[in-house]
Amino acid sequence: MKYFSLDEFDSPDHKGSGINMDHNFLELLNNAREIAGIPFKITSGYRTAEHNSKVGGVKNSSHLSGVAADIGVGSGNERYIILNALIRAGFKRLGIAKTFIHCDTDITKSNSVWTY
């Protein structure tokens, strides 16, 4: 990948677990990063069941199957640029929080945009 290394997606409790990320998800995210033209700080990628429970993730979290990431945001302008790029790249599931944007490609779930 041009913009990311797999270790950026590691669950904090399992070094090397970024290898569990879905290849198609990563390609889509890489395309979004290209469109945005600004760095994406991955704050959560793959999660082990233990880590997901620790952070209060839902039982069927898309992070568990490696098709989700949270991207840190610091300003409204940065949030706009990243959201715009994710949509243009083809993401159809987006969660918007004050400090991050969640994106996933979980085909077991409906297309949606939500807030935290």
Q: How does residue 85 score in pLDDT terms, banded at 50, 70 and 90?
A: very high
Note the pLDDT tens digit of each residue in 26-66: 999 999 999 999 999 999 999 999 999 999 999 999 999 99
Residues in contact with 38: Cβ distance below 8 Å, sequence separation at least 6, in sequence order: 78, 81, 82
pTM of the predicted structure, to 2 decimals: 0.96
Note the pLDDT tens digit of each residue in 68-83: 999 999 999 999 999 9
Strand 93-96 to 68-72 pairing: unpaired
Contact 79, 100 (CB under 8 A): no
pLDDT of residue 1: 87
Mean of the per-residue pLDDT values for the chain?
97
Contact 30, 1 (CB under 8 A): yes
Taking the alpha carbons at both ends of the chain, their separation in whole angstroms is 29
pLDDT of residue 99: 97
